[in-house]
Structure 1
Amino acid sequence: MEARQYDAAQLSSLYTVNDACSAKIIRKLSDKVTSTDQMRAIGFRVSVQHALYMAEVFNRAGIASVAVDGTADNADREVALRRLGQREINCIFAVDLFNEGLDLPQVDTILLLRPTQSATVFLQQLGRGLRRAEAKRC
C-alpha cells in the first residue's frame, strides 16, 4: 500500500484563506508564551504563499515577522536570523529552510503549522527550539 502524499498546493490554498484559523493560532500563541514581544520564533510553513500570508497576519497583530524561503540568498537569511536574535522581529516563517544543520539556540518558540509524514523532519523542526542558550528560561 502506497503512503498518501500531502498536496502542498491544496494545503496552501486552504491555509491562506482561513482567517479564523490564523486568529486562533495567534490567540493560542498569546496564551502559551510569556510575551510575543520577547519571543524568538520560527514557524514552519507549507508553501511560500503560506509563509507570506502568516507573516502578514502576524504583523497585523503586532507580532513583527518575516517570511523566508529557499529562494532567499544567504545574505537575506542571515539578516532575518540576525534580526530575530536582536528581537527586531519576533518570528521567521520558513519554507524548506532551517530544518537541519543550523544551530539557533536563541529560538524559544516553534510553530509547527504544516503537516509532515516524516518523523525525522518533525524532530529536526522541533529541535530548532530545544537548544540551550544563556538567559533562555525554557
Structure 2
Amino acid sequence: MKLRNKHGDEDEIEVSMSPLIDCVFLLLIFFLVTTMLKKPSKDIDVNLPYSNAAVEMEPNDDTVIGIDRQGRFYFDGVRVGRMELRQYLSEIAASNPEQGIRLDCDQKTKNIHVSEVLDLCNFYQINNVGVRTYDESYNQ
C-alpha cells in the first residue's frame, strides 16, 4: 500500500541562486579593489654596484632617484631632466627636508652623475640620502 500526501501539493526542493550570486559579486569586488591598490614601481633597470662595507638598513622607498649607465636621471621611476630633478629636490627641501631619498645607480654610471645628485641634495640640505647597492636577499 502506498502512502499519499493528504494535501496533494508536492513541493520540489530548489537551491536558491541569489546568495550564490551575492557571494560571487562580493569576491569580484574584493579582487578588483585589491588589484587597484598596487603601488607603482619606482625601480629602474640598473645593475647595482657591489659593496663590501655597506650598512644594512630597512629599504627606504620614500623617494627614489635613479641614474642609468648613460647618465639619464629618473625620479620615482619616471625619466626627468636636470632642471626637473632640481625642481623636485627643492620641493622636497621646502616641504620635508628629513624625507628619505634612495639613490639607485648603475655599476657603469660615471661618478660625475652620482656626485651631481649628491651635490644637489647637499645644496638643498637634504641629508637623509642612501645609495642602494646589490644585496642577494633583497634583489632576488
TM-score, length-scaled by structure 2: 0.31
TM-score, length-scaled by structure 1: 0.31
Q: Which has the larger radius of gyration?
A: 2
Considering fraction of residues, name the structure with more helix. 1
